[in-house]
Amino acid sequence: MTKLWGGRFSQSTDALVNHFNASIEFDQRLWKHDILGSIAHVRMLGKTGIIDAADAQTIEQGLVDVRRDLEAGVSEFTEEAEDVHMNIETLLHAKIGPVAGKLHTGRSRNDQVATDIRLWLRDELGEIRMAVRRVQTRLIDLAERNIDIILPGMTHMQHAQPVRLAHQLMAYFWMLDRDAGRLAAAWDRADVLPLGSGALAGTTHPIDREFVASELGFSRISENSMDAVSDRDFAVETIAALSLVMMHLSRFSEELILWNNPEFGWVTMGDNVTTGSSIMPQKKNPDVSELIRGKAGRVYGNLVSLLTVLKGLPLAYNKDLQEDKEPLFDSVDTARICLDVLGVLLDNVTFHGDRMMEALRGDFSTATDLADFLVRQGLPFRQAHEVVGQIVKFCIQSGRPLEQLTNPELSEFSELFSQAPADLAGVLQSVDARNIPGGTARAAVEIQIEHAKAAIAHHTG
């Protein structure tokens, strides 16, 4: 076929080469932003007199008509036009004739695609940040409604110390809060206009880049044309930020999967967020959590993929950069649906405080409280640790839970226990004794929740 830019060539592109070279299958999602960028560009061309004002108006109206037809499904893209940019230019040419060719004055597909991706990504990052905030809001709600539930906090997947469920849920809130900050930083990285950089060296036309930036809502323009057309750092940073989002969602999903196991029985997931087995009638599988956990690896792979594409590229633009879009698009799509479906899951889970409390019985998770008591009586911590270790050993050998030992029995290991309160090894006493900022006491968790609400209000107000 004859390309619109094909005057240099004496042969049509081989069909297989054209198919291999084409990107319209995936970059067509940029069409709205491509038209948006083109409208801003042609307004600038008319304003500066680079093209006739009447031609600029004709082109702008033609682009509006192309957008209308695409929204209505009247027009379609073809592989022959290769990418989203040439497809839109082809449709525009069919609308208004040869004057459409003036649209590309002062720009290249290199700075055009870099602009399109940045425009698209700013919109998507805004949506994902909102999705993060929605999950955070659900976590706050769950924490408030379950603030009096206590469960075994774990290290090394072993019972360590009792904590409030609300405290553990809020740990994920703060992970996501850091994610929201990284996504905001990624948005800022994307908020740079590369249009005007041309293929790599700028343009000889007296363009007004600041005007285009204002039209498109960019806060600043790129400083170096070669960097601008070849830079995909903002895409890497976005996928890196989304990788951390997915890592946090995966960790939370893993805990929900464990807690859903009958051996734990700490949580029940609604029938509307679980699935059955094709062969075992009794099964109720936590597929949502498992898929979130699995899809984290997919986003990690996209990060490595894009880094690998970029690592050996000389300046400036290279066709390798066509490989930037699929990993970026897929990461955005994956993270967004995982955030949304996790929100649905959290709306349909029930926590079983009785089972969690039962798991604390006889698990020695309040042993540290005994050691802390001895320290408050003046015993060095290492000696206190040794004493309590002997008490735990005695309990294991005698089949006695720690919380049932009397003060006289404890005093056999250290006379300092003679003045200990009766509920020294009690779960509630242990939890509420940690009444410091960031601690798991009820009062501390309530303050933490208020801080979380303030953080949400600050970012969404």
**Residues with catalytic function:** 156, 277
DSSP-based three-state secondary structure for 115? helix
The answer to whether 39 and 47 are in contact (CB under 8 A) is: no
Give the β-pairing of 192-193 and 220-221: parallel
The answer to whether 249 and 338 are in contact (CB under 8 A) is: yes
Q: How far is CA 169 from CA 144, 175, 269, 277, 330, in A?
A: 10, 10, 16, 30, 28
The answer to whether 229 and 199 are in contact (CB under 8 A) is: yes
Say how far apart CA 129 and CA 383 lie, in whole Å: 49
Neighbours of 261 (CB within 10 A): 12
Matching residue, tokens 């995982």: 338
User: DSSP letters of 242-255?
Assistant: HHHHHHHHHHHHHH
The CB-side HSE value for 286 (13 A sphere, CA atoms) comes to: 25
The answer to whether 434 and 440 are in contact (CB under 8 A) is: yes
Say how far apart CA 293 and CA 297 lie, in whole Å: 8
Say how far apart CA 303 and CA 91 lie, in whole Å: 35
User: DSSP letters of 151-165?
Assistant: EEEEETTEEEEEEEH
The answer to whether 250 and 296 are in contact (CB under 8 A) is: yes
Q: Pick from 228, 323, 301: which is nearest to 27 by CA?
A: 323
Say how far apart CA 26 and CA 38 lie, in whole Å: 20
DSSP tag of 106: T
List alpha helices for 202-324, DSSP H. Answer: 209-216, 225-230, 233-260, 287-310
* β partners of residue 268: 350
Q: How far is CA 342 from CA 127, 134, 338, 347, 453, in A?
A: 15, 10, 6, 9, 20
List the beta strands (DSSP E) in 313-423: 349-351
Say how far apart CA 116 and CA 30 lie, in whole Å: 6
Gyration radius from the chain CA atoms: 31
